[in-house]
Structure 1
């Protein structure tokens, strides 16, 4: 099974924002694991999944009012397959 690691930067300012991120994550059955670094000023979200769903995550988060962007996507070999510079 292929594994992708998607690094996102969601805007999480409140506990309600974090709850919305949780709700979006749980709608994707192909997410194997995920974590969010609340200590980091950018609240980096790391998602491991079986396919590259970065843009779908961004769109789903936008539907619940969470602004987010994909920073990078790594394939199963740890090679970056997308890098967006802001």
Structure 2
């Protein structure tokens, strides 16, 4: 079952975006992802085979990217609930 995970991130530099790219590439099961740099929350959208949200937030914190899970949706677009508070 695919899940659509919406994550709020703090991206200040191109290096931050590179860290996100490298972190996401280490996760198996992520089918696709994108970052909306125009949004004030710098929304990271992830499509994965399982709920990688909490683990991804923790890994992003490890490379200095603050983030939090905003919402998780199933493959039908139904909300499975909101996520975590900011991780530093």
Shorter-chain TM-score range: over 0.9
Instruction: Give per-residue Cα distances to partners, 1:51-78, cap 9 Å, x unaligned.
Output: 0110000000000011100000001221
Q: Tell me how far apart the structure 1 counterparts of residues 84 and 61 of structure 2 sit (CA, whole Å).
A: 20
User: What does residue 49 of structure 1 align with?
Assistant: 48
Runs of 4+ in 1 over 2 A off after TM superposition: none
1:6-40 Cα distance to aligned partner (Å, 9 max, x none): 00001101111111011111001100000001111
| Contact 2:36–2:44, Cα closer than 8 Å, also in 1 | yes
The question of 1:58 aligning with 2:40 is answered: no
Consecutive unaligned residues in structure 1, runs of 5 or more? none
Could you state the TM-score of these two structures normalised by the residue count of structure 1?
0.92
Q: How many residues align?
A: 85
Gaps of 5+ in 2: none
Give the alignment's Cα RMSD to 1 decimal. 1.4
Report what 1:27 is aligned to.
26
